[in-house]
Structures are given as C-alpha cells and as structure tokens.
Amino acid sequence: MNSKTLIDQLNILGRICLIGPNASGKTYTLDKAYNFEDIRNKALFFDALGIFRSDISKNRIQIQGNFYVYENEKSRGSSSGELQIERYAITDASGEIISELRRLSMKLKSYKASSGISKLKNIISELLSHNLNNVRYFFFDEPENHLDDENLKGLVEIFNLIEANGIRIAIATHSTRILELLKIKTDEIYLMQSNGAMINYTYDEIESIFIKTACKLEDDIFKCSPGSDKKTMKSKINIRGVVLRQFLSNILNSQEFYRALFYRSVFIAEGMTEKLIMGNMPTEYLQFRNFFFAGGKIFIPFFIELFLLYKVKVLAMYDSDYDENVSLQDQKDSYRLSAFLEYCYSENEFVTLIASTKKDLETDYRIDESTLDAFRIDAGNISKNSIKNSHFKPYIALYVFERNSLYGVLMNKIQARESSVVNFDFV
C-alpha cells in the first residue's frame, strides 16, 4: 500500500494502527505517510523516543483567553522595526483539547517523576505550544515506549481527546495493550509483513467469513445429521444481526486477538483443559506462548479461517469425541465436527491439528478413579460428588500432567502431527 492510499484510509477512518514484527517497516511506512505531499505542514510527529518534529511553526505561541497570540519575527525587518503581534481565535475543538490538556497537566504534577511522566509532559507541552487549529494529523511511533500501564492510559486519554475533536491519528506499535485501550477495530489495523506488504480486513469481511463457515458446517455436518448434540452446536453458529456483531466485536477487540496478530503462529484451545495444560507447559517443550481460547470446538473452523487471513499459522487442539462403543454412523455431531476439521485442514501446511486419540484428553492420559482419589485428597478432601462437577475437569487434567510429567509425551504428539490425530473418516 502506498502513502497516498494510507492517507486516504486515515482520512476515512480517522485513525489507523500499523502493527507487525521488528524490521517489517512500520516506522518507515509511518514516516513516509507523514512526509507525503503537504501532510507534514499540518501534522505533528512523535518518534519512538518521544522526540517531537513538525513543520508547523510555533512562533513563540501563547494562549490568551480564547486566542492564540504570535510574535511575528518577520516583522522585525519591517520599516518600523517593531515586533508585530498576531492573534487568531481558538476554535471550539481546539479549545476543548486545550482545556483537557491543562487538566491532565495538573494531574501529572502530583505523580512521582519518571521517564514515562516526562514523556507525557513533553507531549502535552508540545500540543499546547502549537496552534491546534492548523493540526489535522497526529503521527506516533511506538507510543508505549517508557510507559507503564497507568501512564499508557494517560496517553490514550490524549489520543481519544484529539481524535474526538477531528484530528486524525496514525500509530505504529508493538503493544497489544494500547490496541485494547484504544479499542482499535479490525478496519483500522494494518498488519505489516516482512516483505513490506500490509494486511487489512474490515469487520464486514470477517463477518462474511463467519457466516460462510457456519453455512459450510450446516451443509456438511448438520443438514442430514440425527446427532443428539446437533441443536446445541447449531445454535452457537446460527447467530446473525446485532447478536453476531456483539459476538465478533467482543473477540476482535480483545487483547487475546490483538496478541495473536503479533506472532507467526497461534495455538487455538478448544476448552479450558487444553488452555490450562498448554499454558503451563514448560518452555523446554513449547517455545511460543500465544494462546487463543475458542470457547468451544464449533468455533474452531472460523478461527482457523480468521487467522489464516492474517497469515498466522494455526495449531488447534481439541477432543476427538470419538465414542469407541458406537459405530461411525452413530457418532455424535461433535465427532463429525472433528472429522470435518481433519477433512478440511489436514493437508494445509499452515494448520496443525492435535486431536485426542480417544474421546477426550482426559481419557488419553488415563485419569482413572485412583487419580481422582489422589486429586481429591490433595485438594483438601473434597467429596466424590463434588469432583464429578465439570468445573473440576480441567484442573484434574492439569494435576495429572504436573504429577506424571506428561508434557513431553504431549509435545511428541504435537511434533509428530499426524501420529497424534485420529484416523478420521469423513461421514
């Protein structure tokens, strides 16, 4: 994407956010947009160190009442030799920004001195030293540098303030937290690739992927299925309209989703059991810590498609739900969904599927009565009836993994890939 297109999008959206790995060109792209045509004549730019630059002259600006007051240095060379004073009325939008910046400045005086506080004070000082009537763009490279969470919230206040008053914002960042605080939308995210390409998808495009995936599941699994779990699974993916928008917005504006975009691969966990076990796996077995909780196996196909859009490799771990006591034709839809995943993605080089060999992960690793008794005792002698509650299931599995050092066994399955996946027949 060239600088003109980026500026055009910035004008439409009001803000854009460049993300991506080191050396992907975020700073270069931001700088090129700032230097495009006459943009720098109406823009403020802060680099990763918080150092300011702009072509908008300050001219010893002062604020008197509702006016910007300049000392026109050029007038010293006039025939009279007198320094001329120029006054410009402060617009309502600029006035609101000035008022809030002053409030924030007073608030910062009570904070203990730090590099983060100094950075915020410098930003506020520069903004108050310029005629904001003339500012249309605000560029910031890695604004999170030197800021803890509290100070980052202060900076986000400034961003929200200037955006609300019509100044467009372009940011390059490594911080998932700043994306979350700003509630950056997918439309506003530009994911930089190492080859210089940029990936951007709108909410509408992602919603279309969800609906398309749901329709495929309906056609391939549910349409002719007598499965007893069909109704529950269908209801989860048949959401549309405002409910779908709320569902997707909650996911797409989450720190978990933002974080996934910063990595080359993502681990999708079907449920809490997988999430707990993988989250506690020692680093010698698993090098990445980029986990995404699917909230149920029915959503895994959508999340695979979503992350593939952003060129993120996927490792998905889930229960096969294969019941060895019934025939293939009589398996539940939860098993048919496992077969669907294998059918669609087993040959995809960007997707790794890790399904339990037996019905679920707990069965794979022999969580039997003696194990449950040991867990019950170590958990403070809780009753047998209580332990049957599904709430304990993930923690029992984690207990077994810790107690029996099973992480290496699971890692061997992940590395082997096909050897850990049930030999599914697509039915």
Q: Report the side by side order of strands in the sheet with 351-355.
A: 291-293, 265-269, 313-318, 351-355
Mean pLDDT of the chain: 85
The DSSP result for 73-89, as a single string, is GGGGGSSS-PPEEEEEE
Instruction: Check residue 203 and give its pLDDT.
Output: 97
Q: Which residue has the tokens 């961003």?
A: 159
Quick one: pLDDT at residue 205?
98
Q: What is the pLDDT of residue 410?
A: 77
Q: Which of 55-59, 272-276, 321-325 has the highest mean pLDDT?
A: 321-325
Of 62-71, 194-203, 370-379, the range with the highest mean pLDDT is: 194-203
User: 304: burial class by Cβ within 10 Å (0-12, 13-18, 19+)?
Assistant: buried
Q: Please give the model's pTM, rounded to 2 decimal places.
A: 0.85
Nearest by Cα to 346 from 263, 425, 273, 255: 425
Distance CA 183, CA 177 (A): 10
For residue 427, name the pLDDT band (cuts at 50, 70, 90).
Answer: very low
CA distances, 101 to each of 127, 174, 184, 257 (Å)? 8, 26, 23, 32
Give the span between the Cα atoms of 157 and 100, in whole angstroms: 9
Could you give all domains of the chain from N- to C-terminal order, each with its CATH number?
3-54+133-199 (3.40.50.300), 203-365+406-420 (no CATH)
Residue 314 and residue 266 in contact, taking contact as beta carbons nearer than 8 Å = yes
- Has residue 361 got a pLDDT over 70? no
Q: Cα angle at 304 between 299 and 306, to 5 degrees?
A: 95
Per-residue confidence band for 73, with pLDDT thresholds at 50, 70 and 90:
low
**By percentage, how much of the chain surpasses pLDDT 70?**
87
Residue 399: what pLDDT? 85
Higher pLDDT residue, 417 or 21? Answer: 21
- Choice between 284 and 238, residue whose per-residue pLDDT is larger: 238
Q: At 178, is the pLDDT very low, low, confident or very high (cuts 50, 70, 90)?
A: very high
Percentage with pLDDT > 90 across the chain: 46
Whole-number pLDDT of residue 379: 80
Confidence of residue 228 (pLDDT cuts 50, 70, 90): low
